[in-house]
Structures are given as C-alpha cells and as structure tokens.
Chains A and B, each alone.
Chain A
Amino acid sequence: MLSLKIENLAVSFPGLTAPVLAVDHLEIAAGSGVALTGGSGSGKSTLINIIAGLERTRAGHVFWGDQNFADLSEGRRDRWRAANIGLVMQDFHLFPGLSALDNILLPARLSRVATADLVKRAHMLFQTVGLKRPEQHVETMSRGEMQRVAIARALLRKPGVIIADEPTASLDLESGEAVGDLLLSVAADAGSTLIVASHDPRLIERLGRRLSLKGGQIVGDTQAGEMAA
C-alpha cells in the first residue's frame, strides 16, 4: 500500500529534441486504482517503466512512499521492485519448461527469498486466481490461464503496488474480462495501489481514476464519476 509522487520528471532519449515523457507533478493515493490511457508514442510505456523502476530516472523525482527511485542504484532498484511492485505484462513472460507453480515462485527463488511460507502462499494464490493444476506446465495452458499465473506471480510477495501493462490486450473478450475482474479484486483485497495501462474500455471504466497521455504529457486526469458524465 504505497502512494506515488512524481515531481519534475523528464525522460528523453538521445537524438530526440523533445522529451518522450515530461511529468511536472503527479500524485497517486495509496490503495487507489488508476488507468493509464493513450496511443502509441504517448509515453505510456515509458511512464510504466519509470514507475516500475525498470528504467532509470535521470531528471526529477519518483517517490513510492518515502523511497525516491532516483536515489537508488540499479541493483537496489531491482530489489525494491521485487519486494514492492507486482508486475503483470501483456505477454505474460512466463518461462516454458517450468510448471505454473514454479513460475509463480521463480523470481522469489532467484532472489533467494522463497521460504516455506512463500511456497504455501503460492499454492493459495494459485487457487485464488482460479486455477487447479499447479504442476501443469505453462506452455500447455490457455492464454487466459497464463495471465492468471502471471497475476499470481505478481501477488506472491504481497506488493504494495500492482502495475499491469495491457493485461487484457492479448486475451479474448471473455478471458480478458475475467482477468480484469481478478486484478481488481486481488488489488482491493490486498489494498494495493493498482496502476493499469490499457486500451480496454471495460477495464478502464472500472478503475477509479483515469490518466490520459499524449505526446509525453498528461493531458487528462479524470475521476470515474466525471467520466461517466
């Protein structure tokens, strides 16, 4: 359960005159649900990378709670992300050859934090996301099932933040809806801050707040109530 505060953030790439992302001030309350929308090139993915700590913050400040990403080395940022941010991606990024359960536990195991309790939690999460065969290899699963495994993996270490990048874009309507439901309910249950980049209107409208990006700027910031109007 963490709040986000961004100040004077500017991300530019060499060779480009205008920054791909410029955010002067943004605050997201702890436990809230936020949708990020915008076309390609809007800076949406860059923002996701920055707030997930995947990309280095060179100019400005990105605070999760009291922690400023800009102050952290790459290794410490990795560690912080592993402990505090649950990531869900469009392409799942599950590792073939491993069972669903092993996939859920893989990042924790690689970080050497996979205790017996965590293994137990992995089993529990597996049921929470509505799956039945923990030993099933992921490559034999349907895409909807894969995304459920990915969500369980994101939740394993009880992250204060869940960041999902187009979680439903590669799913059919039905499983997309189910995955959306799942994301919202697990975030609500854990009280995690949920940030979802999406094009999926049905998913967007169920989140409390909507940030629209265009040309690297936040051009819209609406609450759910206002949107309905």
Chain B
Amino acid sequence: MIRFILADLRRLWLGGAVVVLLVALATALGVAVTLQERSLRLGSARAADKFDLVVGAAGSETQLVLSSIFLQAAPLPLVDGSILTKLSADPRVDWAAPVGFGDSFAGYPIIGTTTKLVAGTTPGFAEGRMFALEGEAVLGAAVNLPLGAEIKPMHGTAETGGHTHAGPAYKVAGKLQPTGTPWDRAILVPIQAVWHVHGLGEEHGHEEEHHDGDGHDHAHEGDEHHEEGGTHTEAEHTGGVAEHVQTVAEQPAPQPPKTAFALGAASSAHIEDDHHGSIDPDAPIVETFGASTPGLPAILVKPKTIADAYRLRQEYRTGSTLGVFPGEVLTRLYATLGDAKMILSAVAAGSQGLVAAALVLVTVIHVGQRRRQIGALRAFGAPRASVFTIVWLELFLLVALGIGIGFLIGLTAAQIGAQMFAAKSGVILPVGFTREDLRLALVFLGFAGVLAAVPALLAYRQSPATALRA
C-alpha cells in the first residue's frame, strides 16, 4: 500500500509540493508569531530578573525601565544624588547602586556604576577582573574589545551627533560572563569616572560658571588633576548639573576639579576655559556616596526582603522620585504585546483557515478526478477500508510534511528575528519549542487527520460501478 501511495505521490508531485508549501507557510506564520512573542517575553523578563527595584526621578515608568534595564538611550530626568545616599544607608536595602549613562564607545553604551552592582547582577568574570581604579572599565560579554583596550567615551552616540570627550580614556580591566541581557553590550565603568568626565561630583563652591563651556579640546586638564577619593562630601553641590548626564548632544561643561579646594568664586575666569571634566585613571574608586552626589538617572536597589521591596517602592513613589518594579512594568508592556500577538495570531489563524479551505477544495476536486482510479481499485478487489486509508494517508502525509516543514521554517524565522534583535539590543531571546508547541503540533496534525478524512470518506462512499462509469 505504501508503495502505491508513494507511486501516486510521485505521479502528482507538483500538486503535492504546492500543498506542502501552502501548509508549511501557513504553519510557519503561526509558529513564528508564537515563538517570537514568547521569546520576547522570556528574554526581557530575564533581562529584568536581577533588577528588583529601580528608583528614578518622577516621570515615565516605562522609560525608566527601558533606559535602566534595556539601556535604551533616552533623556531621563535625574533623581537627586542624596536619594542614593539615603538608600545606601537604609537598613532594608542590601545594596543600592547608581546607574549613570549617556556616553558611548563604538556603539556600546558606557554605564557608570559600582562594583556592588557588577558583582550583584553578573555571574562573574570571563577574564580579567573588576575595575579597581577610576580609569578602568569592565566589558559586558558582547562587547568586542580586548583586555587592555583603551576606551574614549563619546557623549551621546555617534548616530545622534555625539562628540568624543577629549581627555579621558578607560582601560579595559575585565570582561564579564554573558548574562543574556542588554547589559552584555555595556561598558561598565566606575560611576565616579562618569561624573568626573562630565565634571560632576566634585567640590566646587560656584554655581553658575560651569555651565557655559563649549570646548571639547581640553585634554590637558586631566593631567595635573589629583582628585582625592572620599572628599565629595563637604561641597554644596548644586542640582543644576543634573541634566548633563542624559541630554544628548548638549555639552555638559562643568568645572573640572583641577584645583578643587583652592577654587573660589573668583576663579571663574580660569574656569572659562577649564569647562571640561576629566578622570584620574589612577584614582581609587570610592563607593560611599555623600550629600554631594550628583543627580542620577536611575538607582538600582536590592532590597533585603520582598516586604522591604514593596515598602521601599511605596516610599519612593512620592514627590520627586519614582520607584518601580521592572517586572511589573514589563508585565504591563506584555499586556500590550499580548494584544498585538492576538492580532497576529488571528491573522495567522485566518491564513491557516484559508489554506485548510483551499486544501479541502483541492482534494475534493482531486478525488473527483480520481473517481475512476478509486472505482477501479474497488472493482479489482481492494477493500473499502484500503481505499479510505490510501486517500486519507496521501493527503495526511502531505499535510503532516507541510506542518513539519512549517514548524522548522517558523523556528528558523523566529531565530533569525531573535538574532537580529539580540544584535541590536543585547537581549538574548530564548527561541525554542515547549510543551505548548507540541500541543499545537498535535492539534494541527489532528486537524489534518480530519481534513484528510473528507476526501477519503468521499472515496469510501463511491460505488465502484458509478465511479468506473465516470
């Protein structure tokens, strides 16, 4: 019987190929939508996994999450530096770390943060070690730079017309193991270095003059600058510097810490040409944040318990600050995503329905054309059950083959999509089949079985005499 079916399929290979193709494409559409949506959900959830609570300035929750977790470059309002000081001292907080961004290098975002955050959110180092000095950087796993490479931060990104900070350069000290999150694409540097590049976080008693610099060419300034760690506390830092960190293409030009203690208001003339900050590559890292801590786009908080997390979020949702659970914000995003998925699924289901209807049409016509052959099979003694099985198997094989190929095409398409997405965002989208897909495949196959039974039944019911006469 198998030989007969194969001979038959060989004879009708072109029609069979079209049927397989139709089924495969319709299946692939549905499978790709499902896989892509699921991987997006899983991937972004994993990306947010390590970030329990994010505190930022009052504003868009979604933007805060997108910027801090997915490192999407966008101007964020800054939260006052004192919040970090307060959070760090809070007994309910395991650790709190600043996240400063805005600079980039070769397309990779440069994130200023602390060793605690690096240690707390990554599985460890693939090579090298944690940054220990102000001029050192740690690379995410997806950053394609060697150890020891020199990184000159660019303000903003190249696409948005950013410019390179003239003086400062980081040296790569280590490379992290992959986390599958956008942070894999990040260059992590001590937060104080970011501040210093932008001339923040230093003790300066003057407030106005450091805003109107224009040059980027004051590389020399950093040379003699000796910043002492841990001395930030005394200065009255003014909130006016806040917008510098994020605002793309705006030139932050604060006062460099060149002569930190000696400077008074009178030195403003001097400052006119010393508007750009610089880092001291050899300065030790200081991670105690005093009152003079500059404004920050976001603070990642690791609460000690879940109850603490809820309490902290509640406390920091008032006034000028915004505490969010990234997971919660993502859930809301998924709800939107879910709607889109539903539409796509409906489109896919519609196309599958169309294909199914087309298949029924094709097979009914096909059986009509084969009446004589089917009648002859019966006349020469093939049992009715055999005739049914032949017609059913032929169509079922074609459709099942189409479904199988469709799942492969869908998987491939979803993987290509995920790769493109990962290359762009760093979020690893885990594309893969689950039990749910197995069920879907079984449902499809079951449907194919029923579909194939239509012409098979037609063939079964034909009287051989009538069929032969046709």
Contacts and interface: CB of A to CB of B under 8 A. Distances in A.
Interface string A95-126: 11110001000111111000000000000000
Contacts of A182: none
A153 B464 CA distance: 18
Given A95-B373, A97-B7, A78 B1 contact: no
A76 to B, nearest CB: 10
A79 B386 CA distance: 12
B384 interface: yes
A93 B467 CA distance: 12
Interface stretch (A47-55, A62-70, A218-226): A47-55
A79 B383 contact: yes
B384 A110 contact: no
Contacts of A55: 463, 465
A120 to B, nearest CB: 19
B81 to A, nearest CB: 82
Contacts of B463: 54-56, 74
A34 interface: no
A107 B4 CA distance: 11
B376 A93 contact: yes
A184 interface: no
A81 interface: yes
A97 B8 contact: yes
Contacts of A49: 465
B384 A98 contact: no
Nearest to B3: A102
B329 interface: no
B379 A110 contact: no
A78 B378 contact: yes
A74 B384 contact: yes
B7 A78 contact: no
A111 B379 contact: no
A75 B390 CA distance: 17
Given A95-B7, A97-B11, A98-B3, A87 B379 contact: yes
A91 B470 CA distance: 12
A82 B384 contact: no
A78 B8 contact: no
B7 A111 contact: no
Given A95-B4, A102-B3, A111 B382 contact: yes
Nearest to B385: A75
A146 interface: no
A106 B380 contact: yes
A89 interface: yes
B381 interface: yes
A54 B465 contact: yes
A157 B382 CA distance: 13
B10 interface: yes
A52 B379 contact: yes
A167 B468 CA distance: 15
A93 B4 contact: no
Interface string B1-18: 101100110110000000
Nearest to A113: B381
Interface residues of B, number: 25
A54 B464 contact: yes
B377 A110 contact: yes
Nearest to B463: A55
Contacts of B376: 89, 93
Interface string B369-399: 0001100111111111010001000000000
B383 A78 contact: yes
A67 to B, nearest CB: 16
A81 B378 CA distance: 10
Contacts of B390: 110
B459 to A, nearest CB: 13
A78 B381 contact: yes
Contact of B380 (A45, A56, A93): A93
Contact of B379 (A79, A93, A108, A157): A93
A186 B384 CA distance: 29
A218 B389 CA distance: 40
Contact of A93 (B1, B7, B372, B383): B372
Given A52-B379, A54-B379, A96-B11, A110 B386 contact: yes
Contacts of A109: 1, 4
Given A54-B468, A55-B465, A111-B386, A106 B4 contact: yes
A107 B3 contact: no
Contacts of B465: 49, 54-55
A87 B380 contact: yes
Contacts of B378: 54, 78
A111 B383 contact: yes
Nearest to A165: B468
A82 to B, nearest CB: 3
A111 B382 CA distance: 6
A65 B43 CA distance: 77
Contacts of B377: 106-107, 110
Contacts of B373: 93, 95
Contacts of A75: 383-384
Contact of B1 (A52, A54, A82, A110): A110
A119 to B, nearest CB: 13
Given A110-B1, A153-B380, 13 more contacts: A54-B465, A56-B463, A78-B381, A78-B382, A89-B468, A93-B379, A93-B468, A95-B7, A96-B7, A102-B3, A107-B382, A110-B382, A110-B386
15 contacts: A54-B378, A54-B463, A54-B464, A55-B463, A78-B382, A81-B379, A95-B4, A95-B373, A97-B7, A97-B10, A98-B3, A98-B4, A110-B4, A110-B383, A153-B380
